[in-house]
Structure 1
Amino acid sequence: MRLLPGPGPVRTLSIATLISTVGNGLWMASSALYLTRIVGLSVPQTGLALTTVALIMLVLSTPTGYLADNLGPRGVSIGCLLALGVTELAMLTVHSLPTFLLVAAPMAVFDAAQRSARGAIIGSAVPPDRRVHTRAYLRAVTNVGITVGAGAAGIGLAIGTREAFLAMIVGDAVSFMLAGLALTRLTPVAPVRHTGSGPRLTALRDRPFLVLTVLDGLLAINFGLLEVAMPLWVADRTDAPHWMIAVVVVVNTVSVVLLQVRMSRGADGIPGAARASRRAGFALLAACLIFSTTAHSSGRLTMALLVLAAVAHVIGELWYSAGGWGLSFGLAPEGAHGQYQGTFAMGHQFGQMLAPVVVTALTLGWGTPGWLLLGALFACAGTLVPPVARWAQSSRPALT
């Protein structure tokens, strides 16, 4: 995969994404230890704090997307990235749960807004037949940036001093500011003002679109397989060496970088996107079935099955992402990409919030039957996407 495309908005977005996600990698790898070891929060307090931030982003996704449409997504994105940089520097002063929330709450608002604004920029500045390709490209770039940032964080974590953690926070703050400055090279996107007396947040009144958002959220639970269920399952329920956890993660991240663009082909239109979501559900079912067998195998067979399950999972993840992008862009009315992208993101965010509880309760709590039930959930959700997408597509004239 070429890291940077030709000159134009996609190149600018790629540069900004690469810069900001290096900072994200720094924070993702160090935040839990910073909050517990440096700030002094307990593990339950840390969980509560991070969940609160996620809830703020969830609730504000649609309103901030609406603001991005009305104020102009380029300006909103630049402003929010610069604000994120400033507020991230305030993280240096955090010393308790209340002070963390005072800093993290506005950061959640700015982050929700810049994410919705990025979707609106793609919806407005990129031709319809290239939007899914662009999102796929940016996701691959995101994985590269996070990998670089997490690798750099490894140095800071190895040092382990307060100063090392503070340096990583400063690095994250600088990455936000540089990303915002990079976006100034974008051609301004004209705002779309709301006129008339009709509803402003039309995405929240679009019933078939909301149903698709829920189905997308159920499929998004798949991220909990890699992040939560798989490491605990490998360590507690299989005879595989613990380093196989790292192997599975590497299979996933490398596959996303190399294959996301390729696996997204054909998902630009609504029918193709719906089919990708359906395929994702069955690929995730296959991954669950294979993971469940590793509790009953041994030795090299277990390791081979874990790699096979990782491949099935990442194929499902890649199709899931492509399908969601195609549906969210294809069903959004022109001029409302910000709020539609924000609304669709709510499903993904909610699914990721549910994932730790759902996957641990089913896989570790029930074992093989739990894996089968989780796989059936993915397959059912994916199967429902095409008929709901047809319903949504047929309702477009009535909405406009």
Structure 2
Amino acid sequence: MSLLPEPGPIRTLAAATLINTIGNGLWMVSSALFLTRSVGLPVGHAGLALTLVALVSLVTSTPAGYLADRLGPRGVAIGGLAALGLCEVALTGVHSMAGFLLVAAPMAVLDAAQRAARGAIIGGAVPQDRRVYTRAYLRSVTNVGITVGAAVAGIGLTVDTRTAYLSLIVADSATFLLAAAVLTRLAPVARTPRAESGPRLIALRDRPFLAFVVLDGLLATNFGLFEVALPLWIAGRTDAPRWMISVVFAVNTVTVVLLQVRAARGTDTLAGAAHASRRAGFALLTACLIFPLTAGTQHALTITLLIVAALAHVAGELWYSAGGWGISFGLAPDHAHGQYQGTYAMGHQFGQMIAPAVVTTLTLGWGTPGWLLLGAAFATVGCLVPPVVRRAVARASRRSPASEEPARV
């Protein structure tokens, strides 16, 4: 993978993404402790608050994408990031759950808007055959940014004072504002006029696309499996040392940085993207077959199996991401990339919301049978993606046969 993409919108998006995701890493690592140790919320209230904020982001994703299409995605992205930076500063004055939600709920709407706008920018400013590459490159950059942000946040967590937590919030605010400033270097992306008749949120009436979004959301639970269930499994059900949790996370992060662009090759067509989703399902099945074995092995064999399973999981994660990008761009009409990207994001957000409860119940509660059931579910969902995509293409062909490109399906 080239370290730098060609000059132009991709490089500008990469720079803004790196800056913004450093801030994301700061917040991801420190948010729970900020709410419990600085704001003073009970753990249950902190979890509920973060879940409610995620729900706000989910339900506003499609309308926010529609807004990006109508107003122009560049302006919405810049405005959303700038407003997020200003709102973030307001978190420094929060002292209750109600106060947090009063600030964080509008921030969730702004975040949904800037994320959908970024997808619309890629759809409008990047050539069709470079869109999936762009998303893949940005995901590699995202992993680098979050890793850097998480490392810096570790300093604040070690100090463990209110001043330290507030400093992390101010730093996160600065990354939003700086990312917005970088995006001003982008050329304006044409906004799309509203249709004179018919529904405005067409993505929510596109049943084949919604079916794909549901399947994609179910596959997205693989992130919860890795981030929530696996650390608990390693610590409680295997004889592996606790530092193996860090090792498997490092394997995942480094692999994504190095191989996400390569894994996305061939997914710029709908057929290639659908097949990648199917491969993702079987790779995740493989991981779910290997992980439970570690409950009955010892020492070196346990460590080896954990690494092999982590590699199978990250292969599934890479194909899942690339397939989803190719399908979400390929099925979106040219005038509605914003709302289609917003709707696509809803599936991912839904999957991450349900993942902690689902994956911990199956893997930790049911043990090996739960792992097997989860793996079979991943493989089944992956196999359902290609026929759903074919149905979506057939539906689009009936509506606008002249605009279809047979080579892409």
What amino acid is the match of 1:267? T
Residue 232 (structure 1) aligns with: 232
Unaligned runs of at least 5 residues, structure 1: none
Please list the CA deviations of residues 123-146 of structure 1 after superposition, one character each: whole Å capped at 9, or x if unmatched. Answer: 000111110000000000000001
Pair 1:66-2:66 in alignment: yes
Please list the CA deviations of residues 245-297 of structure 1 after superposition, one character each: whole Å capped at 9, or x if unmatched. Answer: 11000000000000000001000000000000000000000000000111111
Pair 1:105-2:105 in alignment: yes
Work out the CA distance in 1 between the residues paired with 2:121 and 2:361. 39
Work out the CA distance in 2 between the residues paired with 1:160 and 1:207. 49
What amino acid is the match of 1:277? S
Residue 152 (structure 2) aligns with: 152
Aligned counterparts, 1:272-287, within 5 A? 272-287=272-287
Aligned counterparts, 1:100-179, within 5 A? 100-179=100-179
Residue 313 (structure 2) aligns with: 313
Residue 86 (structure 1) aligns with: 86
Residue 33 (structure 2) aligns with: 33
Residue 216 (structure 1) aligns with: 216
Residue 22 (structure 1) aligns with: 22
Unaligned runs of at least 5 residues, structure 2: 401-409
Deviation at 1:399, TM superposition (A): 4.5
Work out the CA distance in 1 between the residues paired with 2:160 and 2:273. 45
What amino acid is the match of 1:364? L
Work out the CA distance in 1 between the residues paired with 2:290 and 2:304. 10
Residue 13 (structure 1) aligns with: 13
Work out the CA distance in 2 between the residues paired with 1:195 and 1:127. 24
Residue 181 (structure 2) aligns with: 181
SS of structure 2 residue aligned to 1:395: helix
Residue 333 (structure 2) aligns with: 333
Work out the CA distance in 1 between the residues paired with 2:31 and 2:4. 29
Work out the CA distance in 1 between the residues paired with 2:350 and 2:3. 31
Work out the CA distance in 2 between the residues paired with 1:291 and 1:33. 30
Task: Return structure 1 stretches of 4+ with deviation > 6 angstroms.
Answer: none
Count of residue correspondences: 400
What amino acid is the match of 1:161? T
SS of structure 1 residue aligned to 2:173: helix
Pair 1:207-2:207 in alignment: yes
What amino acid is the match of 1:220? A
Work out the CA distance in 2 between the residues paired with 1:195 and 1:397. 20
Work out the CA distance in 2 between the residues paired with 1:299 and 1:7. 49
Work out the CA distance in 2 between the residues paired with 1:2 and 1:151. 25
Identity %: 70
Deviation at 1:195, TM superposition (A): 2.4
Please list the CA deviations of residues 100-126 of structure 1 after superposition, one character each: whole Å capped at 9, or x if unmatched. Answer: 000000000000000000000000001
Cα RMSD of the aligned pairs, angstroms, is: 0.8
Deviation at 1:398, TM superposition (A): 3.9
Q: Are the equivalent residues in 2 in contact too, given 1:81–1:110 (CA < 8 A)?
A: yes
Work out the CA distance in 2 between the residues paired with 1:34 and 1:316. 33
SS of structure 2 residue aligned to 1:294: helix
Residue 358 (structure 2) aligns with: 358
SS of structure 2 residue aligned to 1:192: coil
C-alpha change, 1:108 and 1:399, in structure 2 (3 Å) is farther
Work out the CA distance in 2 between the residues paired with 1:390 and 1:53. 35
Deviation at 1:397, TM superposition (A): 3.1
SS of structure 1 residue aligned to 2:321: helix
What amino acid is the match of 2:359? V
Give the structure-2-normalised TM-score.
0.97
What amino acid is the match of 2:94? V
